[in-house]
Structure 1
Amino acid sequence: MNEPGEINVSGFMVEMRDGVRLKTHVWLPRGEGPWSVVFLRNPYVDGGEIHDPDLMKLVHNGYAVVCQECRGRGASEGEWEPFVNERSDGLDTLNWILGQPWQDGNIGLYGGSYLSFNQWVLADELPPEVKTLYISVLGTDQNGFIYMNGMFRHDIYTNWATSNAGVDWGGRDPAEVAAEAYRYRPQVEMDEKLLGKRLDWYRDFLANPGSGDPLWQEGLWEELHSIPSKVNVPVCMAAGWFDIALDAMFRSFAQLRPEIRERSRLVVGPWVHSLIPYGDLAFPNGEVEGPNGGTRAVLEWFDYTLKGKPYPDKLGVVHAYTIGSGQWTTWSEWPPRHETVSCFLNAEGGLDPTREKREWSISFPYDPADPVETAGGSGLLSVYGDSPYLPKAASVLQPEPGYRADVVTFLSEPLARNLSIAGRISVVLFVSSTAEDTAFTVKISEVHPSGEAYNIADGITSLAYRNGSSTAIAYEPGKIERIDIELWPIAWRLGSGSRIRLDVSSSNFPAYHVHPNLAGNWAEQGEIRTAVQTLYWGDRYEASVELPVVAKASNLVDS
């Protein structure tokens, strides 16, 4: 990298098509231009000066950096309405950049999370001067980001709603406010009753749990979902195995057209939403800075796509960290070729390769007033700050089996050898409930020879949206139903002597909303009911954990 030097800093109020002016910061390298441009649009600003060391590194390495404060945020004019104006405002600002004498006709879009939404939403209408996107921790399937099989991710979007509502909490811990918001019933009234303002975008999310609901089938969210297939420039995507957008990012990468994907790249580290390692496990060689992520990786990508320099790594690949091995592997396709290995629920709490001939069942209570607390996982935004109100994210030490009557545990025998899995774990259950609708959760963990267990992946489904149904389907209380729960992607090496653990319950709070055990839209329910849940396995009920075991490395590029 070049040594830091003097830079030119300017601030502009750039006018949009409707006359609203947005505060736009421009940093130019010293010397004579023009320069390639890195452009980002940020809602997380306070209207003051922006001091971002990573942005300054880009400037010191010869890039003009343009950072705009989103409409209604910071010093920008207008009203803050999440998602609504980002497409038109982004395109208007690109046109403004193209009229500036300091740009050389090579522009890259940049920024993570909501800033990546601001990239995706433009990506099918980019001017030819935009040569690339650098996307971090966000995909384009908004329903799949907010819901899993009809179950709402409180810790992502109720958390985000409370922290971005523009309410002054008078020094109160924002995480405490969010924790109160999670429990509000009916949830659809939470915004006005607790926050003191109506959040129509949040209410829209609550009213449309199914992927087939109108909100996702038309307008902005339908267009966003289809955008990856319309992208015409290479994309570098940075994701984390414990990030809230992990699943959506894999799906968006797969949607890229083959000729674009072969020029693109997806990097997945042992990271959370802030792109850092987190949780209770150690991740040797999992650092962000370096070829796997961080500013160096960003500079290498922009040098390649905007300045025409050679790229030092493979393209058209998924470059992923394997948890448990401490190694990075570059895959030419995802999921890699694998053998599906079944571990059947067996006997009294076992997980075995052979299916039990005898039928078994076990019942447990589910009381929505006393939900199972979230202990780790990837669907969590709670990785910022330190608060007793925040659930622990990523892979964390799990409670002992039997710690609650409403968590049923199944445990395999110790593994005779290391077992590498790469892809999506699936869990097949046969269940019944006394409720007219309810939820079931699953969690897969590795139990080390020491007895300590650490979560690998988890999932959840309501009965109304079981088996990936896009619309609510009825359930008859007492009827046995098969439910297949596909978990998010993972690459993990289970160690010799470790055991595989499956926990089944009916709540995982506040990662997901507490199901009230009533039919109909959960957010409109003001009451709750208790239920008795029953699991079945053996003979007719082929309940199992399906593991994607990597047997051959025929699609391995390198490691």
Structure 2
Amino acid sequence: DGWLNVLLLLMFAYGGFEAALIPMGEAKDPRRDAPFALLVGLGAVAVAYVLVQVTVLATLTDPAANDRPLAASARMMMGESGAVLMTVAAMLSVYGWTSGGMLNIPRLTMAMADRGDLPKVLGRIHPRYHTPYVSIVGVAVAIFLLSLQGSLLQNISLATVSRMITYGLVCATVLTFRRWDLSRPGAVGEARFRAPAGQTLAILGIVVSLVLVVRMNLREVVSLGAVVTVAAIHWAVVRGHAGRAAAAIVLLIGMAAPALAQQRVSEPGRYEGWSAPQYDGWQRTAQYLTMDDGVRIAIDVIRPTRGGALHGDPLPVVWTHSRYHRASMVDGRLTTILDWSPSIRRLLQHGYIVAAADTRGGGASFGTQQAFFMPRESRDAFEITEWLASQPWSDGRIGMFGRSYLGITQYFAASEKPPHLKAIFPEMAVFDFYEFIYPGGIYRLDFMTKWQQLTSQLDRSARFDWGRRQLGPAAPMDGDSGSAWLAAAIAEHGGSGDIQGYFASVPFRNSFNATLGAQLHLERSPSSRLGEIQASGVAVYHLAGWFDMFPRDATLWFRNLTNPQKLIIGPWYHGQTNGFDLGAEQHRWFDYWLKGVDNGIMREPPVHYFVMTTGQEAAGGDDSPDGIWAASATWPPRATAARWFFGGGASGSVGSANDGVLARTAPVTAAADRYVIDFSTTTGTANRWTNGYGGGLGYPDMTTNEAKALTWTSAPLNADLTVVGHPIARVWVTANAPDTDVFVYLSEVDAAGRSHYVTEGALRASRRTSHAAPYQTFGLPWRRHFPEDVRPLAGEAVELAIDLHPTARVFPRGSRIRVTVAGADRDNTFSPMLVTEPTLTVHRSPARPSGIELPVAASPQP
């Protein structure tokens, strides 16, 4: 397939040498001069092209990945001035080619108009310049429209197919026309001009044309068919053959109907008509790769089969670097990455190889894990990528996929800049580990404890139930020694250490863990590799969910990388992408970057996000909210900050400690709301945080939790209110303790009084000092969290600026907006009780106006 596509492009590149036949009527000996001119012209072009290709291949390591290979090659040989010279030369060449076409083609349309084959208007001559100006303008408009409706490669393919159809027809007519006796109309005799092997060459030309024409895709078939049919209708009409015109119209409808029924679709979550499944099965092999430090890494390679036979041509490879077993034995049955990530099966069917490797110290790999994301692990990813690219069954174009840990490893792999890694598809992956493990300086105890339990079980190759799925024991390598090797690898895992203990010992961003000899937050956060990832040039598709742990992280990745990239955020928890065809989107992405299919994915707005119109829990735990997908060129989309203030009075909507009112007007008198912190306050054990380690999902009615805290609730809205972006709470507080944790929740209260969780943020009051961030943060507050930044409370009121995780939510007409402030989240974080009866006071006065800023956007459109 690849060779045929290349031949199709070469036909365009070499097209034009046949123009040597045009002046043959003026040659002294056309029989001798015509073949000579054709062969010399073609030979000269071939020599020039070969020299150019050899030069480019000798100077560039990966010319196919460069959109200006000639300029890049000239830069390598002659410096920047050479690149400029080559660029100017290319522009002049294009100008000359275009100018020549604009001189020649309108003459053809003018001549056809004079003969009555085209509308007479195309034959008009300009009274002053004596040029067919209507034809010139018409041809220019046609060329412009063609350039708009397809890429350069698509139009080259269409032009070449048109040329091959013409060439094939000419070859077919030669077999008959060369025998006609023009002096006697209708008579056929011996050929008047004999060329050596002329009949054989004509037949060969027909065969070659047919082979290349079958490379037409649906778009080209429709375009050419429509043009030919419309031309036939026009010819039949102008020649007075009404019956033939009617037949041509029927033919056009017959061609268009199936074409329209099978038209190609490429849009987020939909990918149809671009290719058909080529394979119906797969073959898995499991083996060890030895890294350059001697550690053996377990890897599965899954290659597609058709009718039981392995693929023949080398194919692109997509792989994942897993902490959670590349393959397991579940009740004696083998489960692989295809069971863990079923969307990837689609790639196998469409001509991709899939691979999965255990990280060192995990699964069947040897070595140990020291906390997580060791620098050595990233180096392993580099070596695995390049090994995959070097295999005879691989075409050298490598991509990566995976979620959570398997998403984070992709960013680290890209930071190592493996030459053959072209594109990654990280799903729900962290940006800054400190902000996740210590949000606002508050330790996320539950997650770290449960994740420690999970990984320690997996490292011992013990069974672990992850939600509805089972992990472990790890599957051994192929061969009789596989079980023995697995036992030896598991024995090494015993030195992996206490992950929860490691991170509990580093409460500050720059804390140093003596056991590991590392500043874990600064060295193990993928955000520390921003520069390296950008330098890699790897294309990145970030996927996140509004109810996942990392929606803010995904937006920060998108904001801070300059790589080719896309961002999608759906109404999902960590284990979900329901209501969206993830396999189709991965297929679109990797087809573009690994197979060169111009399916339009990079011409779409780079941000695709779901605007929710119902609470997640309203439809049940596994269902997504109702809503609308929207697109934007930027994140966040254009929005207006709307300030809502904490006020007094009683909203009458909840029995909380104060039941305050959320108002659009600022307070005019000084007041405050005070409550004794209830440490049983919790968002529960089925939420965005617990689902990250395989726990439940689906927030309950938040009213019970809110009744233990301070709340401010708006009056029922008189119109829909769409919030898209990052809400920021600004809360003035005092406390009777030297420190206090503050949790802020945004919820929607429906007409029945049920409170639907929307988003949240948190901050330890002593960590309130903001600093300039080392990366872009959309203007959100950022804290350094060094020991010297701690400012204990001393009785005075202080303002806490707390950004909440981003959201896209419509608060419908008749619903209420509620903001809740609590002092604990018992089941998810650790908040110490520093005094016997800790009291939190929230101030609301003209000088200290507590409230929340909501990014209000235009109503979403379908």
Same fold (TM over 0.5): yes
Equivalent residue, structure 2, for 1:522: none
What is the alpha-carbon distance in structure 1 between the residues aligned to residue 465 and residue 364 of structure 2? 25
Equivalent residue, structure 2, for 1:355: 666
CA pair 172-383 structure 1, distance change in 2 beyond 3 A: closer
Across the aligned residues of Structure 1 and Structure 2, the Cα RMSD in angstroms comes to 2.8
What is the alpha-carbon distance in structure 2 between the residues aligned to residue 224 and residue 233 of structure 1? 13
SS in 2 for 1:436: coil
Q: After superposition, what is the alpha-carbon deviation per residue over 1:166-188, rounded to whole angstroms, capped at 9, x for unaligned?
A: 3889999999xxxxxxxxxxxxx
What is the alpha-carbon distance in structure 1 between the residues aligned to residue 538 and residue 829 of structure 2? 36
What is the alpha-carbon distance in structure 1 between the residues aligned to residue 605 and residue 505 of structure 2? 38
Equivalent residue, structure 2, for 1:178: none
What is the alpha-carbon distance in structure 2 between the residues aligned to residue 94 and residue 105 of structure 1? 9
Instruction: Indicate the percent of aligned positions where both proteins have the same amino acid.
Output: 26
Amino acid at match of 1:493: V
Q: CA deviation at 1:458?
A: 0.9
Equivalent residue, structure 2, for 1:23: 298
What is the alpha-carbon distance in structure 1 between the residues aligned to residue 606 and residue 687 of structure 2? 22
Q: CA deviation at 1:316?
A: 5.3
Q: After superposition, what is the alpha-carbon deviation per residue over 1:500-538, rounded to whole angstroms, capped at 9, x for unaligned?
A: 111111011223222333xxxxxxxxxx75411111102
* Counterpart check, 1:113 vs 2:418: no
What is the alpha-carbon distance in structure 2 between the residues aligned to residue 18 and residue 162 of structure 1? 29
Equivalent residue, structure 1, for 2:580: 288
Equivalent residue, structure 1, for 2:843: 536
Equivalent residue, structure 2, for 1:138: 429
What is the alpha-carbon distance in structure 2 between the residues aligned to residue 355 and residue 203 of structure 1? 46
TM-score, normalised to structure 1's length? 0.82
Query: Is the 1:108–1:133 contact (alpha carbons within 8 Å) kept by the matching residues of 2?
Result: yes
Q: CA deviation at 1:362?
A: 2.0
Query: Is the 2:417–2:533 contact (alpha carbons within 8 Å) kept by the matching residues of 1?
Result: no
Q: CA deviation at 1:432?
A: 0.7
CA pair 50-58 structure 1, distance change in 2 beyond 3 A: farther
Amino acid at match of 2:570: G
Equivalent residue, structure 1, for 2:854: 547
Q: How many residues align?
A: 499
Based on CA coordinates, which of the two structures has the bigger radius of gyration?
2
Amino acid at match of 1:397: D
Greater Cα shift, 160-169 or 67-76: 160-169
Query: Is the 1:373–1:509 contact (alpha carbons within 8 Å) kept by the matching residues of 2?
Result: yes
What is the alpha-carbon distance in structure 2 between the residues aligned to residue 205 and residue 401 of structure 1? 29
Greater Cα shift, 22-31 or 312-321: 312-321
CA pair 469-236 structure 1, distance change in 2 beyond 3 A: closer
* Counterpart check, 1:372 vs 2:681: yes
Equivalent residue, structure 2, for 1:128: 419
TM-score, normalised to structure 2's length? 0.54
Greater Cα shift, 91-100 or 409-418: 91-100
Q: After superposition, what is the alpha-carbon deviation per residue over 1:184-226, rounded to whole angstroms, capped at 9, x for unaligned?
A: xxxxxxxxxxxx9984543342233334556267534363355
Greater Cα shift, 151-160 or 98-107: 151-160
Question: Larger helix proportion, structure 1 or 2?
Answer: 2
What is the alpha-carbon distance in structure 1 between the residues aligned to residue 729 and residue 284 of structure 2? 54
Equivalent residue, structure 1, for 2:829: 512
CA pair 119-174 structure 1, distance change in 2 beyond 3 A: closer
Amino acid at match of 1:374: T
Q: How does 1:341-352 map to 2 (within 5 A)?
A: 341-348=642-649, 349-352=660-663
Equivalent residue in structure 2 for 1:205, among 503, 507, 525: 503
Q: How does 1:233-272 map to 2 (within 5 A)?
A: 233-257=538-562, 260=563, 263-272=564-573
CA pair 450-276 structure 1, distance change in 2 beyond 3 A: same
CA pair 504-128 structure 1, distance change in 2 beyond 3 A: same
Query: Is the 2:568–2:607 contact (alpha carbons within 8 Å) kept by the matching residues of 1?
Result: yes
Equivalent residue in structure 2 for 1:462, among 755, 761, 764: 764
Amino acid at match of 1:203: G
SS in 2 for 1:243: coil
Q: Which ranges of structure 2 fall in alignment gaps of 5 or more residues? A: 1-275, 306-310, 468-493, 513-518, 614-625, 650-659, 770-781
Q: How does 1:88-237 map to 2 (within 5 A)?
A: 88-166=379-457, 199-213=497-511, 215=519, 218-221=522-525, 223-224=528-529, 226-237=531-542
CA pair 409-227 structure 1, distance change in 2 beyond 3 A: farther
Query: Is the 2:397–2:422 contact (alpha carbons within 8 Å) kept by the matching residues of 1?
Result: yes
Amino acid at match of 1:288: F
* Counterpart check, 1:56 vs 2:345: yes
SS in 1 for 2:415: coil
Equivalent residue, structure 1, for 2:317: 37
* Counterpart check, 1:273 vs 2:571: no
SS in 2 for 1:164: helix
Equivalent residue, structure 1, for 2:793: 476
CA pair 208-464 structure 1, distance change in 2 beyond 3 A: farther
Equivalent residue, structure 1, for 2:731: 429
SS in 2 for 1:165: helix
What is the alpha-carbon distance in structure 1 between the residues aligned to residue 328 and residue 728 of structure 2? 46
SS in 1 for 2:745: strand
What is the alpha-carbon distance in structure 2 between the residues aligned to residue 401 and residue 92 of structure 1? 50
Greater Cα shift, 159-168 or 430-439: 159-168
Q: CA deviation at 1:267?
A: 0.7
What is the alpha-carbon distance in structure 2 between the residues aligned to residue 136 and residue 216 of structure 1? 23
Query: Is the 2:606–2:634 contact (alpha carbons within 8 Å) kept by the matching residues of 1?
Result: yes
Equivalent residue, structure 2, for 1:308: 596
Equivalent residue, structure 1, for 2:640: 339
CA pair 78-274 structure 1, distance change in 2 beyond 3 A: same
Greater Cα shift, 214-223 or 428-437: 214-223
What is the alpha-carbon distance in structure 1 between the residues aligned to residue 360 and residue 824 of structure 2? 38
Query: Is the 1:376–1:455 contact (alpha carbons within 8 Å) kept by the matching residues of 2?
Result: no
What is the alpha-carbon distance in structure 2 between the residues aligned to residue 478 and residue 143 of structure 1? 28
Q: CA deviation at 1:393?
A: 4.0
Greater Cα shift, 327-336 or 66-75: 66-75
Query: Is the 2:671–2:844 contact (alpha carbons within 8 Å) kept by the matching residues of 1?
Result: yes
CA pair 172-275 structure 1, distance change in 2 beyond 3 A: closer
CA pair 143-402 structure 1, distance change in 2 beyond 3 A: closer
* Counterpart check, 1:498 vs 2:815: yes
What is the alpha-carbon distance in structure 2 between the residues aligned to residue 170 and residue 37 of structure 1? 30
Structure showing greater relative contact order (alpha-carbon pairs closer than 8 Å, 6 or more residues apart)? 1
Q: After superposition, what is the alpha-carbon deviation per residue over 1:303-356, rounded to whole angstroms, capped at 9, x for unaligned?
A: 111001123445452100001161000011111111111111112311111112
SS in 2 for 1:236: strand
CA pair 331-213 structure 1, distance change in 2 beyond 3 A: farther
Q: After superposition, what is the alpha-carbon deviation per residue over 1:255-275, rounded to whole angstroms, capped at 9, x for unaligned?
A: 111xx2xx3211110001112
Q: CA deviation at 1:59?
A: 1.6
